Amino acid sequence: MGHSMPLEGRSLAIFIVSIVMMSISIITVSLRSFVRLNILRAFGWDDALMVAALILFIILNACCIVGSSNGVGHPRAEFISTEIYQRALIWWWLGQMLYIWASVVAKISIALALLRLAVKKSYRLILWSIIATVITIGLMFWFVLLFTCNPISHFWRQVDGTSTGTCLHMSTIVNIAYFYSSVTILCDIALGLLPAFLIWKLQMNSRTKFAVGGILGLGAIASVAVICRIPFLRFYADENFLYTTYQIAIWSIIETGLGIIAGSLVTLRPLFRWLLDENSTLNHKSSREGKYCGPYRLSSLKSEPTKGSQNTKYWRPDVDPDDNKTVIVVSSQRKNKLSISNSSQEALNPEPGISPNHVTIEKTFIQTVTEGKK
């Protein structure tokens, strides 16, 4: 179709925000999927819903990108034809439809992830209430936008003066938008504060509690974008709304993107542990090749002739065997398979008797022997 309108000013702002938020969201959800499928091997409903939210978000951004290239963000006076203006209205309308469900599905995914940590019945009831509320207000606002005009196509065809139909007064749309945003803010704040109560009684120190609670509460960051969008909702009733509502488009994209990104970042902790384990494996491999890059296994001997030696000075390949120091290494290991009772959530409140995957305790004693002394 090509660029029907110049990509500049407010159109360019929508275009750039769409590209940036979509790219970061794709990266974070891809990393989340890698963690769930390849590291934890536990892909749950919350993960599937986040992938679905990403797909909807990608389509939403595609509408914003194409819409900004077709006049969304331009004042009506700059449109050179009615046909181009109608196309811009169609892309704006489609973006609104997709925004609602991308945002709703992302919030449901975050709530399901928290449900896996909720033990008390009251917390589970709160989370299910949030899910029900998000779905209800999402359906309500979606139906309002879908049937703003009767027939639906009258929304964009009315500009040529030949279409017959009726539309809701835009003040009604504005009031419903205010209500939808207010309830959304409350749900986001609830999803951000609830993790603090979920981990309050867990067996961990205060610093860990603050860290875990902060990570789990990242989902509430989307409420910041909703709050920033509220002052611009009144422009729904503006006759030149394709130009004046560009801030609504930008903050809607940011809100949904932040929800997807924050909800996925929460799940990436095993990725860093996996990378550290991989580095540890490479370090051991390098040590067997004669390069000291980190911890050594007790069975690592310096050369073939010394493998059977009982002399402690040959036990560490990083120590000069001719040095007059005795190196004694004592190591103990425990290795247990961590059972994850949950299909897609790490056990933050493990059952009694379950130990971490792998714990190694190593103590090194260096004793200097001086000639002439016993």
**Residue 35 pLDDT class (50, 70, 90 cuts):** confident
Give, in order, the Cα–Cα distances in Å from 104 to each of 248, 263, 309: 17, 13, 67
pLDDT per residue over 52-76, tens digit each? Answer: 999 999 999 999 999 998 889 899 8
Domains and CATH numbers, the chain: 9-274 (1.20.1070)
Higher pLDDT, 346 or 278: 278
**Residue 374 pLDDT class (50, 70, 90 cuts):** very low
pTM over 0.85: no
Retrieve residue 162's tokens: 């030949």
Compute the distance between CA of residue 230 and CA of residue 281 in angstroms, rounded to an integer: 52
